[in-house]
A and B are shown apart, each in its own frame.
Chain A
Amino acid sequence: MAFAERIDSSVPTVAELTKRAEAMLPRLRERATKTEQARTLPADTMRDLFDAGFLRILQPRRYGGYEMGWAVHADVARVLSRACASTAWIVSVVGAHAAIVGRLSKEVQDDVWGKNQNQLIATASARTKGGARKVDGGYRVSGVWHFASGIDHSEWSMVTTPVEGNDPKDHSKFVRLMAPTRDIEIVDSWHVSGMRGTGSKDMKWDDVFVPDARSINAHQSFGKSPPGAAVNPGGYLYEVEFMPFFGSSLLGPILGTAEGAYADYRDITRVRTGALFGGSVAEQTPVQQRLAEVSAEIKAARLLYETNNAMMHRKGEARQRFSQEEILEINRDRAYVARLCVNAVTRLVRQMGAMGLFNQNPVQRHYRDITAMATQVAVNWDRCMNPYGAFELGVPLGADSRLTQTEPLRKP
């Protein structure tokens, strides 16, 4: 990765980061049950992530970050999720928020990283009620936003929201607003079936004032040359259109979870004897066949993941714009990779018998985690598949396609 190759002794290589991630796996495995029960990352895991530098991968160098290329953060998360998908999620999906902040004004970046460069930044876009009202010198924000992963450990929080008086469906008028998390109430709603450790709780904003300096139009922040491009010259992620990259962060944890489930399943099954009749489970032909099929599914997912990330990195470095077709294909592959991984893990867990039901069984946890991750809109099957199909067939794309690009899509 070209960014990492720049000579700077404080920036680790990708290989070094991978080594650190592998070294962390035993600790994460040990803490996995505790993490689930706590429904948020333990403080010692957060300290480990900061110490290893995993949350600086997409942080600007100006603020002590590594400013690496796409998708080093997801690659590191892929390793971590062999042991704990929730921890990986914080590194990859929440860690990528550093790139968003790196696209904002210098004032905001100084606020966030000026005093302490170890920052996790919580964001939320999903909202059932509330919004922002423009007032003199800023916005007043009230409402409840959902799925703010890692908010227990974040000093700063961001919401994406419509502004009163605008069409609430017109995404181009949405704003992103930053506030210190201490100004916001964290509502512990995170009682869930999977990805429990991410602590993706609700943010309750109660008439919080956000000055103009901490606001930005949502499209401007993800579009080409946002304010941060001048603050952090050299890092393409602060300069190019961000939308094509955005949704792919979660593939690292998804793929890694499938790989983790596979390895755990294999190790358990190698020595397992049937609980009713004895006999080696490994010698059963259907068991063998499914394992081979699963391994092929995961390999196909890995090849798609690696090929597309390499393509995105290449285009990012060259500051090339993505064509519509490329964006739709990236999205299609994203859903496709997620489905391959979910199918793979589902196949494994179904084959474990009642042993697979216990919470201590790691395959079962991987299964709940991957099922939870696959509900994310960025890998939603219908939303990713239909626009690609419509494009290929030359008919107008449905309304869902607005998730895929900052500008409305047109027919070729």
Chain B
Amino acid sequence: MVMTPRPVCASGERRTLDDLLGVVAQHAGAWRDRALATERARQPLPETTAELFATGLMRMFVPARFGGAALDWDAPVALGRAIGRVCPSTAWMVGVVGAHAAWVGRYPGAAQEEVWGDGADQLLCGAMVAKGGRIRRDGEGYRVSGAFGFASGIDHAKWGFVMGSVEGSTEQVSCLMPRTDWDIADTWFVSGMSGTGTKDIVVHDAYVPPHRAVRSADLLKADPPGATINREPIYRAEYGPYVGSSLLGPILGAAEGAMDAYLAITRERKGMMFGDRVAESANVQSRLAESTGDVRAAALMTEDQMRTLVACSRGDARLSEGERLMFARDRAYVARRCSEAVERLVKHMGASGLYDDNPVQRFHRDLQAMAQQIGVNWDRNMLPFARWLIGGASQDHSNWRR
């Protein structure tokens, strides 16, 4: 691993979101150039990971007392969007994996000391899908063993957490473990978001002490254990409404990146068979305009959601039940608008759209992959809102996110 621990800096040097957006602008060209190599590596490239640490991007949600920026909820979305425009997998590292720092910042202080005591630059991978993995009670703590799926960025992580039900109960716990407690199972042979290296975490029969094994419900609620030491809104506000929103950055960015790439190609492209200029086709023009309309609508919905969520996390407003469900609906809708926008274009790129080095098709595959995420799943997020709206039964949305 290329990263070097950096000294804890004084709170006066905390990076702002604008600082970090500036960093993204500087590196965007390089990350765009590496997108294909990243995809082929099936994990974040070491040089990119080093840059994410060196520039402070991965400190977005690290608590201020460990030298982090402790930014607001709109940060992962804004940064994920900006990076997603060049490389969605890299955007995922910052916008989704980077946001795990907020989760750990809600843990008891002792756990945070263990994770960040030696330095703020930690990639924290998380796995929330049990693939045969078990969590059992063991004295004051828990014993974890077996495989849990979808730990993005795991190759570069020194810490990981798994979340799942405790055997013999419906209680969910989140267990944080150092690299020595687990191994990596490389299962990540996929059609999209290949560069996130979202492999399985395989835990050796590890004991997780109580300060690193916390009931998910206690971390999700307002004022979790870590809130006594980290006073910023991301560590204090009720977490549920925010979880899915971090996906919107990479999703929206990928759609915008696809538009950029499509335009650059199509402005110049000549039909291979007859040499006609593709840009002059009225159908091509119309489809492009429709897709940019889709993406603009998605962007406005995303911005609307983030404005409200930031206000709520600061205590300036409170989310009603209906608004929560509405934002979940909007997330599914944004993902659909974005993936349809790109699909419409890629369908008509001809066979030249099939090649690996055509960025439009990569953005397309990445979008399809991201749209599988439960946080933006159509059925799962549309129905609860409708049921609430229509005043019918609403029992079907009792998932952990709420």
Interface positions of A (Cβ within 8 A of B): 266, 269-270, 280, 282-283, 285, 287-289, 291-293, 295-297, 299-301, 303-304, 307, 332-333, 335-336, 340, 381-382, 384-390, 392-395, 398
Contact = CB atoms under 8 A, between A and B. Distances in A.
B282 interface: yes
Given A282-B392, A291-B390, A389-B289, 15 more contacts: A270-B390, A288-B386, A288-B390, A289-B382, A289-B383, A291-B389, A295-B329, A295-B386, A296-B301, A299-B330, A303-B300, A333-B296, A386-B289, A389-B285, A389-B286
Contacts of B401: none
B13 interface: no
Given A295-B385, A395-B279, A332 B391 contact: no
Interface bin, chain B: 35 or more
6 contacts: A270-B391, A289-B382, A388-B292, A390-B279, A392-B263, A393-B279
Contact of A303 (B282, B304, B385, B387): B304
B280 A395 contact: yes
B393 interface: yes
Contact of A307 (B277, B284, B300, B386): B300
B37 interface: no
Nearest to A332: B289
B389 A266 contact: yes
A363 to B, nearest CB: 15
A125 B204 CA distance: 78
Contacts of A340: 297
Contacts of A282: 390-392
B386 A389 contact: no
Nearest to A288: B386
B248 to A, nearest CB: 14
Interface string B359-402: 00000000000000000000100110111011111000000000
B290 interface: yes
A386 B286 contact: yes
B329 A292 contact: yes
Given A266-B389, A270-B390, A393 B288 contact: yes
A173 B333 CA distance: 46
Q: Name B's interface SS.
A: helix
B266 interface: yes
B315 interface: no
Given A292-B383, A300-B337, A389 B390 contact: no
Interface string B271-285: 000000101101011
A320 to B, nearest CB: 21
B287 interface: yes
A368 B230 CA distance: 57
A299 B304 CA distance: 10
B46 interface: no
Nearest to A306: B300
B196 to A, nearest CB: 27
Contacts of B387: 288
Which residue among A269, A292, A299, A386 has the maximum number of chain B CB atoms within 10 Å of its CB?
Answer: A292
B267 interface: yes
A390 B391 contact: no
B30 to A, nearest CB: 26
B7 interface: no
A293 B393 CA distance: 18
Contact of A385 (B286, B337, B390): B286
A395 B300 contact: no
Contacts of A285: 383
Nearest to B277: A395
Contacts of B332: 296
Nearest to A294: B386
A304 to B, nearest CB: 6
A304 B279 contact: no
Contacts of B333: 293, 296-297, 299-300
A264 to B, nearest CB: 13
Contacts of A395: 277, 279-280, 285
B390 A393 contact: no
B286 A382 contact: yes
Contact of B285 (A288, A292, A390): A390
Nearest to A381: B286
A289 B263 CA distance: 34
A293 B285 contact: no
B293 interface: yes
Contacts of A292: 329, 382-383, 385-386, 389
A289 B304 contact: no
Given A282-B390, A303-B304, A394 B293 contact: no
A393 B263 contact: yes
Q: Which 10 A-B pairs have the closest CB atoms?
A: A389-B285, A288-B386, A393-B279, A336-B293, A296-B333, A385-B289, A303-B300, A292-B386, A292-B382, A300-B297
B267 A393 contact: yes
A287 B387 CA distance: 10
A269 B329 CA distance: 20
Given A295-B329, A398-B282, A385 B386 contact: no
B297 A303 contact: yes
Contacts of B279: 390, 393-395
A304 B329 contact: no
Nearest to B331: A296
Nearest to B285: A389
Given A300-B300, A300-B301, A389-B287, A291 B282 contact: no
* Residue among A288, A303, A307, A388 with the highest chain B CB neighbour number at 10 A: A288
Interface centre among A270, A296, A333, A382 (most CB of B within 10 A): A296
Interface in B322-351: 326, 329-330, 332-333, 337
A291 B386 contact: yes
B386 A289 contact: yes
Given A392-B263, A393-B266, A266 B329 contact: no
A198 to B, nearest CB: 27
A304 B263 CA distance: 23
A398 B279 CA distance: 12
A289 B392 contact: no
Contacts of B286: 381-382, 385-386, 389
Contacts of A333: 293, 296
A288 B392 contact: yes
Interface in B12-32: none
B382 A293 contact: yes
A280 B292 contact: no
A295 B388 CA distance: 13
A291 B393 CA distance: 15
Contacts of A297: 333
Contacts of A299: 301, 326, 330, 333
B330 A283 contact: no
